[in-house]
Amino acid sequence: MGSAGFNQPVDNTGNRILIVEDNAINQRVVTSILQKNNLQSDLVCNGAEALAAITEKQYDLILMDCQMPVLDGYEATRQIRIFEKQTGNRRTPVIALTAHAIKGDREKCLAAGMDDYLSKPFTPADLVSIVDKWLRKSPSYPDQ
């Protein structure tokens, strides 16, 4: 089966993405799209698990659901930004993957420290495009 509907996979070998998503179907969809585009990923089910994961590994990108049990994506992102500053780690791009698509939701995500926003449902091409965009950037803190 080919990757109909979106461009040929880019060589992203070596990039690691953290998927923070509590819905099993969404987990499978996102993981599958990333695998088809040569992207390695780890999966956690809530924001608390995401915080634990970033203390174990350095990620190139985080795909963050906003509404999850235990610790939601907004607070998890705030805490990730605090952790990065306290440890001197580079800023990891955080992309919101959310079903919330009403006025003000994008701004809420950005205010929490997320870098971009993709509303569900999204196409494989949408996900690949935003991931590729942020993997090509060199993130840094605005105040440094």
CATH of the domain at 24: 3.40.50.2300
Q: Is residue 125 part of a domain?
A: yes
Mean pLDDT of 69-92: 94
Residue 82 lies in domain: 16-135
Which residues sit opposite 98 in a β-bridge? 119
DSSP the chain: ---TTSPPPP--TT-EEEEE---HHHHHHHHHHHHHTT-EEEEESSHHHHHHHHHH---SEEEEESS-SSS-HHHHHHHHHHHHHHHTPPPPPEEEEES--STTHHHHHHHTT--EEEESS--HHHHHHHHHHHHHS----TT-
Is 6 within the bounds of a domain? no
Instruction: Give the total number of structural domains in the chain.
Output: 1
What is the percent of the chain with per-residue pLDDT over 70, rounded to a whole number? 85
Q: Mean pLDDT, to the nearest integer, of 70-80?
A: 95
User: Which band of pLDDT confidence, cut at 50, 70 and 90, is reported for residue 6?
Assistant: very low
**Pairing state between β 116-119 and 16-20:** unpaired
- Mean pLDDT estimate for the chain: 86
Closest CA to 115 of 62, 67, 39, 58: 62
Q: Quick check: 98 pLDDT over 90?
A: no
Whether residue 112 is contained in a domain is answered as yes
**Confidence grade of residue 10 (pLDDT, cut at 50, 70, 90):** very low
pLDDT band at 100 (very low <50, low <70, confident <90, very high): low
pTM of the model: 0.85
Examine residue 8 and state whether it is found in any structural domain, yes or no.
no
- CB under 8 Å to 115, separation ≥6 — which residues? 93, 94, 95, 134, 139
In a domain, 9, yes or no: no
pLDDT category of residue 142 using cuts at 50, 70 and 90: very low
**Has residue 1 got a pLDDT over 60?**
no
